[in-house]
Amino acid sequence: MRIIVNGQQAFGRACLEAILDKGEDEVVAVYTAPDKDGRPVDPLKELAVERGVPVVQPANYKDAEVLDGLRAWNADLMVMAYMIIFVPEEARNIPTQGSICFHPSLLPLHRGPSAVNWPIIMGSAKSGYSWFYPSDGLDEGDSLMQWECDIAPDDTVIDLYFKKIYPFAVDSVMEVCELFRTGNPPRIVADEAQATYERRCTAKHAKIDWNKPVGQVYDLIRGTNPSPGAWTTLNGAQVQVFDCRREPGDGISSKVTAVSEEGVTVQCIGGRIRIMRVRQAGSDKMAAHEWAAQAGVEKGTALGE
């Protein structure tokens, strides 16, 4: 089977490597986003060049020249792995069996660019990934296959994506190819009544309100760790909060209840958060107790507004 791999970053590279190493299909071309000045070469492009696979980097997929170029590969399937450029229907349908796309959620849940962050922030107990037949809507279309995993109570974005979703998703790319190779890939019709869409999770969503229930605060911190990074303020200055623990305890919310080498403990509604790692503007990440010593944080200090 003749395949075009279209994507970016580490996931795109890993999928390309899996297909090349298996050797059952021919990767006729790699498509990826144009290079950006001052940024390293994209990992997917880097591997393609190393392995002698032709690389194409169009700015869009609407120009006639780009569409003609896609047709010239006589591809059977386009595997879309970590996409940042929209590919319209005319381009997606050029391979004889169309295109298949990866998304790190159980579609139609959590459509959008921050599909790993939001399930954790919302306190969900399940996530996973989908390979789906993309339409012109964002992350819309029927699914080819789905894989489900638990979100543990202390999982961060790193735990959910890099330790759970990512390795199994890379392994699954060969199963995806096999389903198309046999000529009868399944379709799981999306239940639009269950669909959700969340916009990109940014710093404005990651602001901590210590006057909320402790579970909500904890989920926000772990659901934005490491990016975009939850944050609070001390005397008006922003401080990002990363590693933390949830602990029992009562008191006045937003107040620091203890400072030790184990961290800085802050009261919320119905419980406490022990902050263990932070980053001030313009500095590297540091242990919370080191920050507390520098910033004068002690028992009774108020964080946030």
HSE-up (13 A, CA, CB side) for residue 262: 9
Neighbours of 28 (CB within 10 A): 18
Which residues have a Cβ under 8 Å from the Cβ of 110 and sit 6 or more positions away? 118, 119, 127, 196, 197, 198
pLDDT at 214: 98
Which residues have a Cβ under 8 Å from the Cβ of 172 and sit 6 or more positions away? 129, 131, 145, 147
Q: How far apart are the first and last CA of the chain?
A: 59
Neighbours of 5 (CB within 10 A): 27
Question: pTM of the full predicted structure?
Answer: 0.94
pLDDT at 54: 98
Mode of pairing for the β-strands spanning 277-280 and 271-275: unpaired
Question: Helical H runs in 145-248?
Answer: 157, 166-181, 214-223
Gyration radius (Cα) of the chain, Å: 23
The number of helix segments (H) and strand segments (E) in the chain equals: 9, 15
pLDDT by residue for the chain (305 residues), tens only, comes to 999 999 999 999 999 999 999 999 999 999 999 999 888 999 999 999 999 999 999 999 999 999 999 999 999 999 999 998 999 999 999 999 999 999 999 999 999 999 999 999 999 999 999 999 999 999 999 999 999 999 999 999 999 999 999 999 999 999 999 999 998 899 999 999 999 999 999 999 999 999 999 999 999 999 999 999 999 999 999 999 999 999 999 999 999 999 999 999 999 999 999 999 999 988 999 999 999 999 999 999 999 98
- Integer Cα distance of 81 and 12 in angstroms: 5
Q: What would the two tokens of residue 254 be?
A: 């937003």
| CA 154 centroid distance within chain | 17
Where are any strands of DSSP class E within the chain? Answer: 2-7, 26-31, 55-56, 77-81, 99-103, 126-132, 143-150, 230-234, 237-241, 244-247, 256-260, 263-268, 271-275, 277-280, 286-287
- Domains within the chain, CATH numbers bracketed: 2-194 (3.40.50.170), 203-295 (3.10.25.10)
pLDDT at 209: 98
Q: Whose structure tokens read 């591997």? A: 47
Q: What would the two tokens of residue 51 be?
A: 């392995």
pLDDT at 204: 97
Q: Is 279 exposed, middle or buried (0-12, 13-18, 19+ CB in 10 A)?
A: middle
17, 206, 253, 267 from 247: Cα distances, Å: 43, 21, 13, 9
Q: Whose structure tokens read 């199994």? A: 168
Q: Is 236 exposed, middle or buried (0-12, 13-18, 19+ CB in 10 A)?
A: exposed
CB 25 within 8 A of CB 2: yes
